[in-house]
Amino acid sequence: MSGGVDSSVSAALLKQQGYKVVGVYMKNWSRDLPGMPCPWLDDYQDAKRVAVHLGIDFKMYDFEKDYQHKVVDYMLDEFKAGRTPNPDIMCNQEVKFKLFLNTALEDGADLIATGHYAKIGDGGKGIGYSLLRAKDENKDQTYFLYRISQEALKHTIFPLGNVTKPQVRELARKYKLVTADKKESMGICFVGKVPIKDFLQQFIKTRPGKIIDQAGREVGTHDGAIFYTIGQRHGLEVGGGLPYYVTGKDMKKNEVYVTTDLQDEKLWSREVRLTDMHWINKIGDMGKGIGDRKLQVRLRHRAKLIDVKMLDLLSNSKAKAELAEEVRALTPGQSAVFYSGHECLGGGIVI
């Protein structure tokens, strides 16, 4: 229980369905940063209030050291390498559906549940469990869950898979939960509403560098190439004229490359190369079960699904795919997640 409305309603629904429910708050981050107080204590207290209201046991697991190592350090290393990681995906893979799952099972639990908008299906004999898109397409979180394991799916319940966000709010009011009208948390996973640049500046020393346009001219300066991502428009302190878009960067030279041409070929891609592939079950694994299935890919959370053809599964960890249409700002470090109909098959990291 994170202290938000989704996990609060999930607990209420499970209790109503007859489960013996224990609420658990994961303390993953408690560090205050200059001008950025961490909201963990408020969230913990909200989660505890809901648990008391529902009449369920409540406890806290302290994963702060593991979270620092497995999520924050990973994120910082990726940014230092010039990539743009997704810490929420790593948090799900390493903390929620590995560390939390294992700790809960050792603590006597039979199953874990979270407030994610997703569904779990049985893929059939010899295939394994499947991850399915939620009823609420606007809130579907399978993009963040694509690295989930069979072991985790076997021991997980997603109570909100067939519920829409407006219905969750209504249920929260019906159950008189203090989190009924609590706003969404849209910041860095478990850190709160902190701009990523402000967060990174607390951990990484940066130095000014050149901003160079498509003609090779220096058109401005930046305060660290690490802060910029492919396709970025805002935050470039380049005055006057047409807007500039980031097309690339050189971390060794500490240079950021930009263009004013929205049709610049460096901004657009039809082919996506991937590493660190993860398939959820045997249908995706090395393409053995994909066959003639029509595939689609999502390149960002809430981005539209694009038809895609798997060109090459180079190994268990690498793949190459062709998109049915050009996409702008394909960003190294981000995830490409594959779907067949409503089923999320898995995905990989863009290189």
**Tens digit of each residue's pLDDT (9 = 90 or more) over 257-286:** 999 999 999 999 999 999 999 999 987 654
Tens digit of each residue's pLDDT (9 = 90 or more) over 114-151: 999 999 998 777 889 999 999 999 999 999 999 999 99
Evaluate if residue 12 carries a pLDDT over 80: yes
Closest CA to 221 of 230, 232, 213, 229: 213
The CATH number corresponding to 265-350 among 2.40.30.10, 3.30.1490.20, 3.30.465.10, 3.50.50.60 equals 2.40.30.10
Q: What is the 3-state secondary structure (H, E, C) of the chain?
A: CCCCHHHHHHHHHHHHCCCCCEEEEEECCCCCECCECCCHHHHHHHHHHHHHHHCCEEEEEECHHHHHHHHHHHHHHHHHCCCCCCHHHHHHHHHHHHHHHHHHHHCCCCCEECCCCCEEEECCCCCCEEEECCCCCCCCCHHHHCCCCHHHHHCEECCCCCCCHHHHHHHHHHCCCCCCCCCCCCCECCCECCCHHHHHHCCCCCCCEEEECCCCCEEEEECCHHHCCCCCCCCCCCCCCCCCEEEEEECCCCEEEEECCCCCHHHEEEEEEEEEEEECCCCCHHHCCCCCCCEEEECCCCCCCEEEEEEECCCCCCEEEEEEEEEECCCCCCEEEEEECCEEEEEEEEC
pLDDT of 127? 85
Place of tokens 């290189």: 351
Mean pLDDT score, 57-69: 97
Highest mean pLDDT, choosing among 101-115, 224-238, 278-292:
101-115
pLDDT of 191? 58
**Identical fold at 5-115+159-196 and 205-259?**
no
Place of tokens 């089923």: 343
Evaluate if residue 50 carries a pLDDT over 90: yes
Evaluate if residue 83 carries a pLDDT over 80: yes
* Residues belonging to the active site: 91, 189
What's the whole-model pTM score?
A: 0.94
Q: Which CATH architecture has domain 5-115+159-196?
A: 3-Layer(aba) Sandwich (3.40)
Domain locations along the chain: 5-115+159-196, 205-259, 265-350
Evaluate if residue 206 carries a pLDDT over 90: no
Evaluate if residue 308 carries a pLDDT over 70: yes
Tens digit of each residue's pLDDT (9 = 90 or more) over 165-204: 999 999 999 999 999 999 887 556 555 567 788 888 889 9
CATH homologous superfamily, domain 205-259: Adenine nucleotide alpha hydrolases-like domains (2.30.30.280)
Instruction: Report d(CA 260, CA 240) in Å as an integer.
Output: 11
Does residue 328 contact residue 268 with C-beta atoms inside 8 Å?
A: yes
State what percent of residues in the chain have pLDDT above 70: 94
Q: What count of other Cβ atoms lies within 10 Å of the Cβ of residue 343?
A: 20
Tens digit of each residue's pLDDT (9 = 90 or more) over 311-321: 877 566 899 99
Evaluate if residue 207 carries a pLDDT over 60: yes
Per-residue confidence band for 248, with pLDDT thresholds at 50, 70 and 90: very high
Average predicted confidence (pLDDT) for the chain: 92
Evaluate if residue 287 carries a pLDDT over 60: no
